[in-house]
Each structure stands twice: as C-alpha cells, then as structure tokens.
Amino acid sequence: MLSVHRVEKSYRTGGMFSGRRKKVLHGISFECEQGECLGIIGESGSGKSTLGRLLLGIEKPDRGSVYFEGKTVADRKARLGKISAVFQDYTSSINPFFSVEQAIAEPLKLQGMNRLEAQSKIDLLLYQVGLDPSFRNKHPHELSGGEAQRVCIARAVSTEPKFILLDEAVSSLDGSVQLQVLELLKSLREIYGMGYIFITHDLQAAAYICDRVMMIRDGRVEETVQIGQLKDVQSPYAQKLLQMIIA
Ligand SMILES: Nc1ncnc2c1ncn2[C@@H]1O[C@H](COP(=O)(O)OP(=O)(O)OP(=O)(O)O)[C@@H](O)[C@H]1O
C-alpha cells in the first residue's frame, strides 16, 4: 500500500553558499499495509519528521522513492484526499480566521463536495471526534489544546483517507488528554479502516496504538518489531528506548 524504497535525504548546512550537506536519511526502506498502524520512533533529530515529509510528498528524496498504491507520491493526484496529516502544532495547523466549520469544510470543498453534503458530513465528524455542535462557530483561540487537536483530526479524517500521518500529534497534550486522543484515534480507525503512520519519540504512546514500530537512529532503521514482540528487541538502541519506558 505505502511502499518506501531506499530513500535518502540531505540538507545544506552552513548557509546558502556553503557546499556542505548533512545527510539526514540513509537509505530507508519499509512497507505499510492498508489499515496498519506503523509507529516511527526515535530520538530527537533522528530524521522522523523529515521521513514524514517525504511520505506526504511535500519534500522529495535525493534518492529512492515513495509509492502509494503503486504510484509515486510526488504526483499530487495520487495522494489528494487519500493521505492526510495531523501535526504537533495544532494551533498553527488551523487558520486563525477560520471557524471550526470552515476548517473542516476546506478539504471537503477541495474534493468538490456540495454545501449540503458538507454540512451533514461536518455534523457527523464533530460527533465522531467528541465535540458538540456548538463548536461549529468557534475559532481556534477559543479551543483548548485537546479540542483543537480533535478539530485537526476531524479535518484529516473528513476525506476518508487511506492513511493519516500523525507527526507527534499527541505529544503536546497533557497526560489524560493525550490518552483521550489516542482512544479517539483507535475508534476512528475502527470506523474508517484507515492506516496510521504514527511518528513519535514516545514509545509508550506508540505501544498503545501501533501494530508495529520501526525504530530509527541517525537516519537509519535500527529495528522493526511487532508490538507483541516489543520486549524481545535485539539492538542495544531499541533496548535502551524500552528501558526508558520501564524506568
Ligand atoms: N529543512 C531543513 N533544513 C536543514 N536541516 C534540516 C531541515 N529539516 C530537518 N533538518 C535537520 O535534519 C535532522 C533531522 O530532523 P527531523 O526534524 O527530521 O528529526 P526528528 O527525529 O523529527 O526530530 P524531533 O523529534 O526533534 O522533531 C536534524 O538535524 C535537523 O536539524
């Protein structure tokens, strides 16, 4: 379904005229099946968000390729409405001048849905993410972090994508709100059957929601493991991450 072949990415370092580059991703390959929740975990700076941007097709790899349903994600048509994303920074993810209704309606309009259909879809989505209809006319500054992230999730789900990329989507939320949003993501996955790519530095959150986790270190895949086999990880780095949860 989502297939990544030997992607490499580097960025220029030391200013515009510097020839120096830092390699961030070193030949990463993996696959993610329809309906699967794959966690991508690693320490800060390991390249998780860079990999996420390549999966979304918003940045191109220097080498290698990302295919979704057999087509390259570089082709916007191949991914429009089929892959969506929720980021950590929910406050800047929503246009501050938009009401909740307008924010959720935006991707539906892009898909050509008419106003009447969009209205009933927004009602359903608000209900599914646990927000009552009075939220329709609120603006981002009137929402708590958890409420704003629910709006971002409603918008990401609105086009019924095959995949949602969640980049540190619960990391800024308080413990209990984080758990509520993870529960929400689980229930939406049951309703819509979509897959998640769950990028996080938090192995505990990944263990809660993912079927499988891929651990990356310095831009390389260190180990990939089914959640049920987490305690049997082999590499010292994976064992260290595991120890951090147990401790
Ligand atoms: N646009 C960019 N230009 C230059 N360097 C970049 C760019 N994006 C990322 N990097 C560098 O690539 C490396 C990996 O960054 P990335 O954000 O992918 O890591 P991460 O694992 O998501 O980290 P975090 O958990 O802190 O968000 C870092 O050293 C970062 O400084």
pLDDT the model gives residue 91:
76
**Gap from CA of 44 to ligand 1 centroid (Å):** 8
pLDDT the model gives residue 110:
87
How far apart, in Å, are the Cα atoms of 213 and each of 8, 57, 92, 171? 20, 22, 28, 17
Dist. CA 62–CA 25, nearest whole Å:
10
Bridge partners of 42, per DSSP, are: none
Q: Give CATH for domain 34-58+76-246.
A: 3.40.50.300
Cβ neighbors of 243 (< 8 A, separation 6 or more) are none
Q: Is 49 in the pocket of ligand 1 (CB under 6 A)?
A: yes
Kindly provide the ipTM of the predicted complex, given to two decimals: 0.96
Dist. CA 121–CA 115, nearest whole Å:
10
pLDDT the model gives residue 20:
83
pLDDT the model gives residue 247:
63
- Residue nearest to ligand 1 atom 1, measured at CA: 11
pLDDT the model gives residue 238:
86
pLDDT the model gives residue 241:
80
Q: Match 């929402």 to its residue by tokens.
A: 143
Atom of ligand 1 lying closest to residue 201 CA: 25
By the 8 A CB rule, do 2 and 195 touch? yes
| Residues of the chain falling short of pLDDT 70 | 245-247
Dist. CA 119–CA 105, nearest whole Å:
8
Dist. CA 133–CA 114, nearest whole Å:
20
**Mutation pick for ligand 1 pocket among 48, 168, 214, 241 (CB with most ligand atoms within 8 Å):** 48
